[in-house]
Amino acid sequence: MKTRLTSPDGTPASRLAFGAMQFGGRADAAASRAMFEAARAAGITHFDTAHLYNDGASETLLGAMLGDQRDQLIIATKAAYTGGGTKHNIHASFEISRKRLGLDVVDILYMHRFDPNTDLHESMEALAELKAQGVIRYIGVSNFAAWQVVKAIGIAAKFDITIDILQPMYNLVKRQAEVEILPMCADQDVACAPYSPLGGGLLTGKYSRSEAGRLTEDAAYAARYGPNWMHQAAVGLGEVAADVGVDPATLAVAWAAAHPMGPTPIISGRSAAQLGPSLAALSYDLGADLYARLAALSPTPPPATDRIEEQT
């Protein structure tokens, strides 16, 4: 990957990003601040939130923490998960997000998901207008398929803007991004910040210990990670982690970050203690043999052409 995002003062994006989705929800104000401070102490410079998260509490809490560090940080938010990708919705929701964050300029604004009912020209024009106004620095898209990103890239060029970053799902048991998304990012010079490197907590081993988490509290997550083979892969990850003396979460995050494309996984948690093993992945050297050993725990998706005999 050639794309390198920087903060307003030129500080490079960290190898991992921190996701504030739990701020104001499963993490109260005190726990949220503790995680922010732990992330900063570890060297995280890239922080991610969204207009949607916890009815705005995530943006409000994150914005209040920035203080005099703001120019050293990359702050990302997202618009148009609800309400469609219309120009009005993108502008209106972003203005609310900007006020919650307390920022004149937000570093990254994502379209939170593809809207098949709005002409993408309208959405890209809205983002181009915000960039021309100087209130955003980078443009991103989230939950887009590879073809949708390439379509956005082509349309964005008409408005003299670029798609700078993509946010897809990616982890050891959700590897569809390897087929087209990650190669597309490498080819088109688009940064990639995948979410859910721990698979909703599945890859930490917590559910095999009968602990609570998203998979026990959220039906959508339970369905997303319902197949038995995923749970068996998590068990296998735990066994490898015990063998090498590393927390499973550290291995899972390090594995997601080790793809040759160079993605920046977004880590999160409910507390600083829970976040610690993910932060440890920043300095963990996952060698090629261990990477392959972990990859073998889950199916490698077939190539985009389905010519499995050509897969290497």
Angstrom distance (rounded) from CA 119 to CA 117: 7
What is the three-class DSSP state of 167?
strand
> What residues have CB less than 8 Å from 268, skipping those under 6 apart?
18, 19, 20, 21, 22, 35, 275, 278
The span from the CA of 39 to the CA of 244, in Å, is 25
Return the SS3 of 146.
helix
Q: Which amino acid is at 31?
A: A
Strands, E assignment, the chain: 17-19, 46-48, 74-79, 106-111, 136-142, 165-167, 191-192, 266-267
Q: Please report how many Cα atoms fall inside a 13 Å half-sphere around the Cα of residue 280, on the Cβ side.
A: 15
Q: Structure tokens of 148?
A: 């949708």
Count Cβ atoms within 10 A of the Cβ of residue 179 and give its class: 0-12 exposed, 13-18 middle, 19 or more buried.
middle
Instruction: Enumerate residues 6+ apart whose C-beta is below 8 A from 288.
Output: none
Q: Is 225 a catalytic residue?
A: no
* Residues 6+ positions from 15 with CB-CB distance below 8 Å: 257, 264, 282
Structure-block tokens of residue 51 = 């207009």
86 to 91, 117, 153, 166, 262: CA distances (angstroms)? 9, 9, 18, 20, 32
Cα–Cα distance for residue pair 158/147, rounded to 1 Å: 17
Q: Which of 53, 81, 110, 225 is catalytic?
A: 53
Catalytic residue ranges: 53
